[in-house]
Amino acid sequence: MKRGFDLTCYLVAGRSSCGERPLEEVVRLAVEGGVTMVQLREKDVSTREYLETAGSLKRILAPAGVPLIINDRIDVALAVGAEGVHVGQSDMPVDIARRLMGPDAIIGLSMDTDAQVLEAETLDVDYLGLGPVFPTNTKADHSEPLGFEGFARRRCMTKHPSVAIGSVTARCAGQLRSLGADGLAVVSAICRAEDPAKAARELRRAFAEEKE
């Protein structure tokens, strides 16, 4: 994979997903626990707020060598020197995102349908987000949950590295790895955990224990 990045434990977070705890504190603890990538996903905030938050996370993540991915906002990613962006099906097209971000950027793309997975085979993306695996409250407009069977089907349809997302926990981590997941993209499992560092460690440990 480009730039040697690691999808194993991929935290997706924003201020609202962390409840009353500061986002920066959650991210710092998660990195201590072994999170390998962090995506900043903010909705309904001003551009200035998005920039300030992204800059704060960049200062936390850079010394640890953990890539910062910005959801949707390519302008914010460029402004703070983020390692990449993650886009959805209604966001900026991948070819334009690649042109703006450059050949070394990490670009991820969310999948909502089987047809989109097949179409993505011709796109210059670095990983796909396959989900939701299970029903989730973190994204109100999500598509029908895939379950293990649906995740396995879509994973077999693509050559791209892929992360499982959607109410993913340590309990199902090994099973998802056995079905081809290259990593776990999590929100609540870390952001809402009493101890985000411990939660990250448990997710990594569970993912390493592949189930037959």
Q: Which of 41, 154, 177, 204 is catalytic?
A: 41
Q: What is the three-class DSSP state of 183?
A: strand
- Catalytic, 41? Answer yes
| Residue bearing tokens 């999170």 | 35
- Non-local CB neighbours of 49 within 8 Å, separated by 6+ positions: 42
CA-CA distance, 193 to 190, in Å (whole number)?
5
Tell which residue, 148, 200, 147, 182, has the closest CA to residue 38. 200
Catalytic residue among 21, 28, 58, 139: 139
Evaluated on CA atoms 84, 45, 183, 194, the torsion sign reads positive
- Whether 98 is catalytic is no
Q: Which amino acid is at 103?
A: P
H helix or E strand, kind and range, residue 186: strand 183-186
Reported as type and span, the H/E element at residue 34 is none
Token code pair at residue 44: 């309904």
Which residues are tagged catalytic?
41, 110, 139
